[in-house]
Chains A and B, each alone.
Chain A
């Protein structure tokens, strides 16, 4: 468990340093995610310990955002006064995003039958 967390933190650090070095505005942690993905591809998949460590972290993703997200109180008045415009600017793009991806995927899938059940054996 501890060494899996160490690998995750190392990827995060490497991602952070790489992005700082390149000077691009791409989140270092997300680059670290891609690094870990490459490592998993090379290693042929995550070990059980890595699965549980990663699962534990991801299950609490929302909790880790609480400190930053609570700062919204400083702009609460602004959110209330712009509530109607914000609702429009959130709902319409959400409808467009969902319908675009769903329609293209449906049209593409019409040609070939989709596998209804994943191969569970390939997970292990």
Chain B
């Protein structure tokens, strides 16, 4: 098969697995059946078994990668719509989000040092609460590995959706605003879909928190990491 047909075959297979998983998730609502997670595991496994180098696979499906930046830009539309809708408490929730974003980033730095994780692993963990598309960029900028960051960020998102409802119930958090902010801030996309399953207003708050935390992470994590590295080289 020539390269163009190979590309079509890989692309079709990737789209099919993603599409089927997305449908299964819609039916079951099970956070672990995440389309991105399942597709990356299946395609990663398949390319390994067939001995196809990742660069070759990437070149075949690169057309998907071209639209990633555009999709991040498009997040401005739901942000605008949801902010218009939930104008109240904006400054207070922004302060709450900054406090949460900084404290979890600082804790991640501390824990990853304590657990003796490698520098690359530590830096790839840092942007794990921002949406995966941004997480890849931030990890790259601070010296982490985009592929590791993508995996760890998706995992964080799923952990939030699985653990979150239980945690918020135990804490007695009932307000849709507080629950939505927590889901979106810690668990970006999968967290937000979990929030929409609770109520639409919870989902809208989550969607705001997801976008705001993507910006906060990109602004706050690089200087935090730089200060940490300067303090203990």
A contact residues vs B (CB 8 Å cutoff): 5, 8-9, 11-12, 15-16, 25-30, 32-37, 40-41, 45-46, 50-51, 53-55, 57-58, 60-76, 78-79, 82, 85-86, 88-106, 108-109, 112, 114-119, 122-123
Q: Using Cβ atoms and an 8 Å threshold, which residues of chain B touch A9? A: 70, 73
Q: Using Cβ atoms and an 8 Å threshold, which residues of chain B touch A35? A: 73, 76
Q: Using Cβ atoms and an 8 Å threshold, which residues of chain B touch A41? A: 80
The reply to whether A65 and B133 contact each other, CB–CB distance below 8 Å, is: yes
A82 and B121 in contact (CB under 8 A), knowing A65-B132, A106-B175? Answer: yes
A97 and B88 in contact (CB under 8 A), knowing A62-B189, A105-B178, A114-B175? Answer: no
Please tell me which one of the listed residues A11, A61, A79, A89 contacts residue B112 in the complex, with CB atoms under 8 A apart.
A89
Given A33-B76, A79-B148, A90-B155, 5 new contacts (CB under 8 A): A30-B218, A73-B48, A86-B125, A98-B168, A98-B182
Main secondary structure of the interface of A (DSSP, over half): helix
Q: CB-nearest residue of chain B relative to A72? A: B151
The reply to whether B111 and A101 contact each other, CB–CB distance below 8 Å, is: no
Per-position binary interface string of chain B over residues 147-179, scored 1 when its CB falls under 8 Å from any chain A CB and 0 otherwise: 110111011100110011001100101011111
The reply to whether B177 and A105 contact each other, CB–CB distance below 8 Å, is: yes
The listed residue with most B CB atoms (<10 A of its CB), out of A61, A68, A69, A82, is A69
Complex-state Cα separation, A45 to B68, whole angstroms = 23
Closest beta carbon of chain B to A83's beta carbon, Å? 10
The reply to whether B58 and A106 contact each other, CB–CB distance below 8 Å, is: no
Closest beta carbon of chain A to B127's beta carbon, Å? 10
A51 and B167 in contact (CB under 8 A), knowing A29-B137, A34-B215? Answer: no
The reply to whether A40 and B80 contact each other, CB–CB distance below 8 Å, is: yes
Count of chain B residues with a beta carbon within 8 Å of a chain A beta carbon: 112
Q: CB-nearest residue of chain B relative to A5? A: B70
B31 is an interface residue with CB less than 8 A from chain A = no
Per-position binary interface string of chain B over residues 78-91, scored 1 when its CB falls under 8 Å from any chain A CB and 0 otherwise: 11110011101100
Main secondary structure of the interface of B (DSSP, over half): helix
Q: CB-nearest residue of chain A relative to B125? A: A89
Please tell me which one of the listed residues A75, A89, A101 contacts residue B100 in the complex, with CB atoms under 8 A apart.
A101
The reply to whether B147 and A34 contact each other, CB–CB distance below 8 Å, is: no
Q: CB-nearest residue of chain B relative to A99? A: B171
Complex-state Cα separation, A104 to B101, whole angstroms = 13
The reply to whether A104 and B61 contact each other, CB–CB distance below 8 Å, is: no
The reply to whether A37 and B72 contact each other, CB–CB distance below 8 Å, is: no
The listed residue with most B CB atoms (<10 A of its CB), out of A9, A58, A89, A99, is A89
| Closest 8 pairs (CB-CB, A-B) | A71-B147, A104-B96, A54-B74, A25-B141, A97-B104, A62-B36, A36-B76, A54-B77
A60 and B76 in contact (CB under 8 A), knowing A30-B214, A98-B168, A102-B182? Answer: no
Please tell me which one of the listed residues A26, A58, A60 contacts residue B78 in the complex, with CB atoms under 8 A apart.
A58
Please tell me which one of the listed residues B45, B103, B134, B150 contacts residue A30 in the complex, with CB atoms under 8 A apart.
B134
The reply to whether A90 and B154 contact each other, CB–CB distance below 8 Å, is: no
Interface residues in B34-67 (C-beta closer than 8 Å to A): 34-36, 39-40, 43-45, 47-48, 54, 57-58, 61-62, 64-65, 67
